[in-house]
Structure 1
């Protein structure tokens, strides 16, 4: 993500395959979060909720969240992305998609107007703007409303196989190549939320399953394909950085996708995401 506009280039450019990748990733994260999309204790039975999703892609998160709302027909569901190239010709019913960078600036009538502001797996692509992005998103939350942030955390403690560990190393190389400071990890997001005056700050480390580790048989192949495509695109992206892949040779990279597919089907794997939420005080 960067500034809104047509000159932004996605790391994962194949739109049709990317939407499939996101669907598989979404399914794994949802399982890791106990089948919930919103960990913030917002009353989803209320009518007329106003919800914003940053880095929304095709609006898949908002479309799924609708199922958890008691009165979705009364709610204002807005998804923003840095470019509209991934927006479907017909957005999901009840969802409005707009070209909007999460780093701002936002429309003045949006400020402090949302009951829930959500963003997932975006900060690694923002270079040194991650804290600025979080603060901009927090400016949208109304008094009594909530922010929820979901980002990758360190997976070194997970007993994954060699191919999954290499996938994690590629993610870190991508962040490095894009200038990410990774300060949002290790409690960074929680600190930023607290330092900006939010209360009731909570967090969990959610285990996201891949392949054979998924409890639902239907998800095993879905997540295997999703994360194998992720590896394929990460290799292409990281090769373009000065210094190249760094975490492996080009020869080692040639067989990684196949090795990863086999490892996920036979053994599976996990990676953790950190979910952080906080509430803007009423006064």
Structure 2
């Protein structure tokens, strides 16, 4: 297969989603949905932050979480110093408060020793499509190093192993199988709700917890709440855009025996969108995985 898959911008070969304006818009919409899924909360860790505390936002993207977190705390009389990092600056905002800093850094190799025991809270969201076992272990070790004793880490991830919850027809089932093959080829860890608590404990974290939240996918034809959760989740178009973002890696890898052309992949994703729009059964699960660095570290 020698087709040029897309004109999207990908910041690395390891991360399966693009880093461009289209993806920024998708992520910002998704941000609002995730916050809603967690009861309108930007975070669930039992932090007790005060003015001057430093916060790390890893995989910051457009910075939407960090900017809202900064404003929320400021309205409550707490002014934080927030460090936002990502492997690419392509999605960074052009303007932001002076207390919110953006830099190109990777969570697997944070500034050392400058950031050791620095952050009262570290937040990271949706790196599932960027990481393998080696990278996750490096990231967790680095987060343990840079968080202050007594500080919290919150890792928000999505179910990426059991795709049967959104396999509601022939197209979505075929797409789920294809994505599973893509993840396998990249060494993606799918069961992060099980995997991350284990390696967090191995790294020395305590009070490790996992808070799951199910969200719907599609079902726009019926306004009746989903039978499992009343949380409004992904529209079928949002779910379509997520997998359209992975078109480049899929085509570059040869289609995994499921598709042979760009057009076939696009048709598969669009067919999935139709199935989900007409389904009242599809859902996925987000997990907020929390851990605290011991006080006596």
TM-score interval, smaller chain: 0.7 to 0.9
Match of 2:162 in 1: 155
Length, aligned pairs only: 270
Q: Alpha-carbon deviations, 1:86-112, whole Å to 9, x = none?
A: 212224674211111011142322111
What CA distance in whole angstroms lies between the structure 2 residues aligned with 1:203 and 1:81? 24
Matched, 1:175 2:188: no
Q: Alpha-carbon deviations, 1:191-210, whole Å to 9, x = none?
A: 11112222211102221333
Match of 2:29 among 24, 29, 39: 24
User: Cα distance 1:40–1:73, how it changes in 2: closer, same or farther (>3 A)?
Assistant: closer
Aligned to 2:131, the other structure's residue is in SS state helix
Match of 1:130 in 2: 136
Return the offset for 1:259: 1.9
Match of 1:249 in 2: 259
Return the offset for 1:175: 2.3
Match of 1:139 in 2: 145
Q: Alpha-carbon deviations, 1:59-105, whole Å to 9, x = none?
A: 11112223542547620111100121221222467421111101114
User: Cα distance 1:73–1:186, how it changes in 2: closer, same or farther (>3 A)?
Assistant: closer
Q: Answer whether contact 2:219 2:277 (CA < 8 A) is retained.
A: yes
Aligned to 1:24, the other structure's residue is in SS state helix
Q: Alpha-carbon deviations, 1:93-134, whole Å to 9, x = none?
A: 742111110111423221111111111111432233222212
**Larger Rg computed on CA atoms:** 2
Quick check: 74-83 or 107-116, which moved more? 107-116
Q: Answer whether contact 1:53 1:79 (CA < 8 A) is retained.
A: yes
Match of 2:4 in 1: none
Q: TM-score, normalised by structure 1?
A: 0.82
User: Cα distance 1:207–1:94, how it changes in 2: closer, same or farther (>3 A)?
Assistant: farther
Quick check: 54-63 or 252-261, which moved more? 252-261
Structure 2: runs of 5 or more not aligned: 1-9, 226-231
Return the offset for 1:11: 3.6
Q: Alpha-carbon deviations, 1:161-181, whole Å to 9, x = none?
A: 23444554444333223233x
Q: Answer whether contact 1:32 1:209 (CA < 8 A) is retained.
A: no
Matched, 1:263 2:263: no
Match of 2:3 in 1: none
Match of 1:225 in 2: 237
User: Cα distance 1:26–1:7, how it changes in 2: closer, same or farther (>3 A)?
Assistant: closer
What CA distance in whole angstroms lies between the structure 1 residues aligned with 2:48 and 2:64? 21
Q: TM-score, normalised by structure 2?
A: 0.78
What CA distance in whole angstroms lies between the structure 2 residues aligned with 1:38 and 1:186? 17
Aligned Cα RMSD in Å? 2.9
